[in-house]
Structure 1
Amino acid sequence: MNTLAPKNCPICQGNSQTRRILKKFANKSYGHCYCRKCGITFDSNVNDFVDAGVSAEVIHAIKDESSYRELFVETSKISDEQGNIYPDFEWADNESVKIGVAHYLIHSIEKYHEGVLDSIVDVGCGDGFSSLLIARRFPNSQVTAIDPSPLIERLRSVDQGTRVKPIRGTLQTTELDDGSADVVCIMGNLMLHLDPFDSIRHAFRILRPGGTLVIDFKNVRSLSRILARWFLMIGFDRWVGRSKLERNFVNMRYGFNREYVVNYLETFPCELLAFFDKPPRLLGFSNQSKWQAGFGGGVWRFLNTIDKFRGQRAWLQAVVRKTND
């Protein structure tokens, strides 16, 4: 299966042939591909979703998990009734994970955003745990929490003591006004968006001049993901465990690298303030989980140590300031 790269790719413009990583992903009818020219990875059906689009009505009409995952790749159930995120990871302390995820975002806002913070938009926030932490740190700001999962509705019943407005949908379906936000955050989910390039365009649309965009995403050039890609391509997954490779290293509609995202951001009126790599979330925040145990966990920590010196750890974060149009 050779397929064209995404037609809206700002680097190769969809004219570069790709290499198949796997023919069938998670028992679905689509596979995952690698663009030889720009270095990103993507599901082979991405253009179908870009062409079709999705409305707020479609999102609200989703009744089952299978339909949700068809659109958004990951589960709609990222947390349990107690608010523990990804409880199947069996964190030693779930609260430290939530604080750790939000820490990088809050630190970037404090360090790089200039001026008053009236409005913060938190995109793809799951059940809104990050939105609540942001609101508590910036109590005078209106925080808009956006996510297509029904979990976002939990915020309506939380005694927040903060200014948080939950919206079930995507950045494209919320119809926020142009120039209405001081900060837009897309943390940990850009690679899952139906059209991440359109998401960034909408982020710049709703940002005021001088506003700050903070995004983080999985890095396809970390050693663990490079090895996973090759294991899947040459068939080693039968010994390593295909489901583990898919979930942790390939489970993303798009996989980006530093150069690709920088080149795309440079097509907008903005100033790049910071771009840095971060460790895998399962190895961060002074936490422990079942994924760190045994020989496999030791190999993962070793690869992360090498990636730290390479500047290619598992996650990348960009902070940009919108300049005058």
Structure 2
Amino acid sequence: MDLELRHLKVIRAVADAGSLTRAATRLGLAQPALSTQLRRIERALGGALFVRGRDGVRATALGELVLDRARVLLPAVCELQEEATRFARQGTAGHRIGGTHGPLLGGLVDRLARQDPGVPVTTHTSWSEREIAGSVADGRLDFALIGVCGESPPPEPGRLAWMEVARDPVHVMLAEDHPLARRAEIELTELAAEAWTDVPGDGCFGDCFAAACVRAGFTPACVYEADTASCVHLVQVGRAVGLCRATFPATPGVATRPLAGTPLVWRHLLGWHPAGRAAARAAHVLAQARAAHAEAMTRASPTPTAVHP
């Protein structure tokens, strides 16, 4: 039997799990099948790789030798596959951009279409910042246009280059006839009795919001997680208040106001793979993203200049 990469993955899984039972579970195999496969691998390599005991397994000297090589080879092969995927897609024309919800992605697409006529732009949207960043890291997308809360790090920090597009205070959305809607800014504590609505995501914004509420002396009684249109509807009918970025466009029936003291901040980020085809165009796309943000700010819902009791 010739040794294959899948055999090295089995050996590493057994070593990492510390037992055949746990390794079989992680590999999706029955334990007898894993034991049989491991014996075949040991015969091919000429000796035992693990010593079995009541507390699990431990690597023999031969096992340590094989594991040392496996820990080098497996990541190298994974990196080779990623580089080959990116290289194979080098000839694909156009801009491939992934983004989350919000007006900035549409603004960037519009500006690129105006600045680069004839160059196709394709988009992919997801609630998951991690999914979008992963697609850029493995070459399926050129750019990730996402946001993170405050100073939180973006996903894939070791594989992607990230630059800040803009930094926005997080505002609150209220029905335009809400008693607080004519304020120039609103204290978070004044919203303690409200139901809230927000869009989903896999970043830390929900935790940051909960922490800001705790600092303000309350815990949100109800949070409706919904798509953007549903969040806006719940605000319009007075069923809830919501959180939005400063770039949220003016919307009938909705007033957006800053939170006093800016307890929450949203950072818009653009990410790309430094070794991918997008690296040469990153400065251009970043400039267009920043211009799109500036345009979005001019369309944002106006804020009163005076405080009304």
With the length of structure 2 as denominator, give the TM-score of the two structures.
Answer: 0.31
Q: Which one scores higher on RCO, CA 8 angstroms, separation ≥ 6?
A: 2
Structure with bigger gyration radius: 2
With the length of structure 1 as denominator, give the TM-score of the two structures.
Answer: 0.30
